[in-house]
Amino acid sequence: MNKESLSILGGGLIGSLWAIYLRKLGYPVQVFDKRPDTSQAKEIEGGRSINMALSFRGLKSLEKVGLKDKILPLAIPMYGREVHDEKGSTQFMPYGQANQAIYSISRGKFNLLLSEEASHLGATFHFRHKFKSIDFTSSQLTFETPTGLQKTEGGIVFGADGAYSALRLAMQKQARFNLTQEYISHGYKELSIPPLANGDFAMSPNALHIWPRGSFMLIALPNPDHSFTCTLFLPFEGEGQSFSQLHDEKSLLQFFQTYFKDALPLMPQLTLEFFTNPTSSLINISCYPWAKGKSLLLGDASHAMVPFYGQGMNSGFEDCFELHAAIEGAKPDQWELIFQEFQQTRKPNTDAMCTLAMENFVEMRNHVADPRFVLRKKIESLLHEAYPTRWVPLYTMVTFSDLPYQEAYRRGKLQEKVMDEVMADPLIAQNWKQLDLEGILTKLQQLDRSR
């Protein structure tokens, strides 16, 4: 490929990693970000950042550019969910096999490492550059900067500027651009659990802690400094439990005492954080086309998803991995063809992942504490252990493999139908260890053939 100038809008996780990929290919890269220098990222994002859950697809994408070993020291492995009931009792539910984990990592520190690596490789970062417009014919970009409007030749332009992408907004003003977006009824607020007085973790560190309460939930992810980043997911409004009902310290403490009794003593800054940190919204976005001329949307800009499967960042990183492969295999100056082929191949997979993320929200808040759900997962684990290639749980396909999301979704739905039949047995709780596993797999095979 000819080494023409490339521009990236957005210096977040996806934009910074994509800058690294492009610099590894030898392209001159400019990154434009509306925020101040990313060395201040931790302070900027404090109070509104859900911790990242790094899994196989993300790690594979980092390994491709030699960063996996630099990132893992910043992360803590989580081998399963630690489910807290309303009485304070807990139950550990493994994510997969004994050695399988997802990794909790702070967004700010992660972003800083990636942007510094991109800079070290020669990418030029321009901060406090707010994208205003693009001429899709010439790729001229206009930015609002502290010194006024600035125009620059963008060359090939990548929009990695997040769920509220300004480049996507510019594309929307063009003909034949489709967009659907859905805000869910729930918002989220970041809280925290600090280390104990002796510096230890207040809870077991190698798990994602979850307090499922039907229409709402609290989660907590560990940090290397022995704290936990907590996130409360709650409806914005409603007569039941909602953010609108928590209007003062008394109502807040009563709410936590009732529903998160074991967490409350571990959160000395709860009141301050709750009434200081913003309540943020959650959105699913689907759009098409992702490409316009020599411009392309990546990550959340093209397929924002709610965070309940932990795949938003991972899918964005996989965008970089897949697009990099497409560029390596292309002829010189074929950007528009690369973009067309990439979006046509990639979009069905990200659509499937957005659907899975919404479905997993219902699972996390409603089902993980249900004994029948726990039993169902045990049976699936039994099948996977006995027949590791013939029955692979949906979560394992999504989180611990690079199987295309669309295929994982298809297989998961087939397995779900078979498991519905298994769980319909009124004596399943007594007989589950004596199940005919081979018979279950035969049903799955027959169902797959009939589709």
Q: Nearest to residue 105, comparing CAs of 74, 59, 66, 63? A: 74
42 confidence band (pLDDT: 50, 70, 90): very low
Tell me what pLDDT residue 222 has: 96
47 confidence band (pLDDT: 50, 70, 90): low
Q: Are 178 and 215 in contact (CB under 8 A)?
A: no
Q: Are residues 316 and 440 in the same domain?
A: no
Q: In what order do the strands lie in the sheet with 76-78?
A: 52-54, 102-105, 76-78
Q: Are residues 43 and 150 in the same domain?
A: yes
Residue 84 lies in a domain: no
- Domain edge (last residue) among 360, 378, 412: 360
- According to DSSP, the residues that pair with 77 across neighbouring strands are 103
Residue 86 lies in a domain: no
Residue 50 lies in a domain: yes
Tell me what pLDDT residue 44 has: 45
Residue 96 lies in a domain: no
Q: For all residues of the chain together, what is the average pLDDT?
A: 93
Q: Are residues 385 and 334 in the same domain?
A: no
pLDDT of 2 above 60: no
* Local structure of residue 240 (DSSP, 8 states): S
Tell me what pLDDT residue 98 has: 83
Q: Are 21 and 123 in contact (CB under 8 A)?
A: no
pLDDT of 196 above 70: yes
C-alpha 330 chain-centroid distance:
29
Q: Are residues 292 and 389 in the same domain?
A: no
Q: What is the dihedral of CA 150, 151, 157, 163, to 10 degrees?
A: 40
Mean pLDDT of 51-71: 96
Q: Are residues 177 and 196 in the same domain?
A: no
CA gap 104, 119 in Å, rounded = 25
CA angle 370, 102, 58 (to 5 degrees): 130
Q: Are residues 154 and 235 in the same domain?
A: no
Tokens 């990313």 label which residue? 38
Give, for 411, the enclosing helix (H) or strand (E).
helix 405-423
Q: Are 298 and 315 in contact (CB under 8 A)?
A: no
* Local structure of residue 436 (DSSP, 8 states): -
Quote the pTM value: 0.94
Tell me what pLDDT residue 146 has: 95
CB atoms closer than 10 angstroms to residue 432: 16
- Residue-wise pLDDT for 339-386, tens only, equals 999 999 999 999 999 999 988 877 766 666 688 888 999 999 999 999
Q: Are residues 270 and 336 in the same domain?
A: no
* 3-class secondary structure, 103: strand
- Domain edge (last residue) among 310, 337, 360: 360
- Residue-wise pLDDT for 227-247, tens only, equals 999 999 999 998 889 999 999
Residue 137 lies in a domain: yes
| Number of independent structural domains in the chain | 3
CA angle 162, 72, 12 (to 5 degrees): 15
Q: Are residues 188 and 233 in the same domain?
A: yes
- Residue-wise pLDDT for 134-149, tens only, equals 999 999 999 999 999 9
Residue 92 lies in a domain: no
- According to DSSP, the residues that pair with 295 across neighbouring strands are 157, 292
Q: Which domain holds residue 220?
A: 182-281
Q: Are residues 41 and 174 in the same domain?
A: yes
Residue 85 lies in a domain: no
CA gap 117, 111 in Å, rounded = 10
* Local structure of residue 50 (DSSP, 8 states): P
Residue 91 lies in a domain: no
* Local structure of residue 123 (DSSP, 8 states): P
Q: Are residues 66 and 41 in the same domain?
A: yes
Q: What CA–CA distances, in Å, run from 349 to 12, 274, 354?
A: 22, 36, 9
Where residue 23 sits, what CATH number does that domain have?
A: 3.50.50.60
Q: What CA–CA distances, in Å, run from 118 to 22, 27, 46, 333, 353?
A: 9, 12, 23, 24, 28
Tokens 């489910």 label which residue? 83
Tokens of 92: 């550990």
Q: Are residues 27 and 165 in the same domain?
A: yes
Tell me what pLDDT residue 43 has: 44
Tell me what pLDDT residue 347 has: 98
pLDDT of 3 above 90: no
Mean pLDDT of 428-439: 94
Residue type at 51?
A: N
Omega of the bond leading into 289 within 30 degrees of 0 (cis): yes
Q: Are residues 287 and 210 in the same domain?
A: no
More confident residue, 410 or 240: 410
CA gap 131, 392 in Å, rounded = 44
Q: Are 84 and 211 in contact (CB under 8 A)?
A: yes
- Domain edge (last residue) among 281, 308, 332: 281
